[in-house]
Structure 1
Amino acid sequence: MTGRQDIDLKDYIRHIPDFPKPGILFYDISTLMRNPDAWQIAMGRLTRQIAPLQPDLLAAVESRGFLTAAPIADRMGCGMLMLRKSGKLPGQTIAHTYDLEYGSDTLEIQADAVKPGQRVVVMDDLLATGGTLAASIALLRKAGAEVVGASVLVELTGLGGRDKLDTTVTSLLSYED
């Protein structure tokens, strides 16, 4: 392996055509996660991108957002909350329903997960069309959070998802398609 700063993390992302349906090119981060050196480097680089935003909490979008938010919250010494699909969290929740290409979906957080004004960065593995991250930001604001950014491991820039987000967006890797 070359020096840690010279490593190209794209070399560790597997591309799977026609998954989960024909015409979709899936960017598989499991191959990155399996390589301990590449994974450590990826988490370090993401941490450096997020740190200037000075979050109190990282909000992880179910489920692959959990994979990046947990180790980064640990590194930064901040808290983490989970944004989950409807019915998966115990106790009182706050919900936000949003439109998908075909239908709708609902995200929830626990009602006491955010104190009003807490600085939050929302995290997911991938930014494509931006619908899920936009819904996550709306939900967090409904709960009283100050959303100071969104962070993803992979961004598909050609799909314009960043344009739907009215906050700072950082991505570790970007692809045109």
Structure 2
Amino acid sequence: MLPTLSVFLIKLPLSTLFSSLTLSTVVFGIHPLGFILGTALAWHFKLGFIPARKGGKLPVETLSTTFVDYSGQSKTLEMRADAFSPGARVLIADDWIETGAQVKAVIELVEQQGGKVVGIAAINIDDNPVTALLKAKYNAFAP
């Protein structure tokens, strides 16, 4: 029963809530909870999935960026250096966007690799000046 229920819960809301974000060629999920939404979006739209991992977790050549999170702590996110080809159209997925610091760090990673961010999907995006800019510039969306 669980697989059937989870497919229903994923497929119906994703097809209606995130249908405007279909211009991407790959989904980039932010560690850790962005992996859940990101893999669901990738599965639904039949796209590849790339994880943005916490620094020091990948045993391969990486690109990384350091940022200060909402609590004032310095954090690092990384991705495989060969995660996608230049020109890829990337949809970023995260669970909750508060200050936008993590998302901005991932945008930096995508652009370092030569990708273009075409959308940001989240369960919730707080309203503040930084997230307002993300919504306007990158088609950031939360239901």
The TM-score bracket by the shorter chain reads 0.7 to 0.9
Contact 2:110–2:117 (CA<8 Å) still a contact in 1? Answer: yes
Name the counterpart of 1:147. 117
* Cα drift, residue 70 of structure 1: 0.8
TM-score under structure 2 length normalisation:
0.84
TM-score under structure 1 length normalisation:
0.69
Aligned residue pairs: how many? 135
* Cα drift, residue 115 of structure 1: 0.6
Superposed, which structure 2 residues align to 1:22-41 within 5 Å?
Answer: 36=6, 38-41=9-12
* Cα drift, residue 40 of structure 1: 4.1
- Computing the radius of gyration over CA atoms, which structure comes out larger, 1 or 2? 1
Contact 1:95–1:109 (CA<8 Å) still a contact in 2? Answer: yes
Instruction: Specify which of 88, 93, 111 is matched with residue 123 of structure 1.
Output: 93
Identity %, equivalent residues: 27
Contact 1:90–1:110 (CA<8 Å) still a contact in 2? Answer: no
Q: Which has the higher contact order (CA 8 A, sep 6+)?
A: 2
Q: Which runs of 5+ in 1 are unaligned?
A: 1-34, 173-177
Instruction: Specify which of 68, 75, 90 is matched with residue 99 of structure 1.
Output: 68
The change in CA–CA distance for 1:136 and 1:38 in structure 2 (over 3 A counts) is same
RMSD (Å) for aligned C-alpha atoms: 1.8
* Cα drift, residue 150 of structure 1: 0.9
* Cα drift, residue 162 of structure 1: 1.7
Instruction: Specify which of 20, 23, 44 is matched with residue 49 of structure 1.
Output: 20
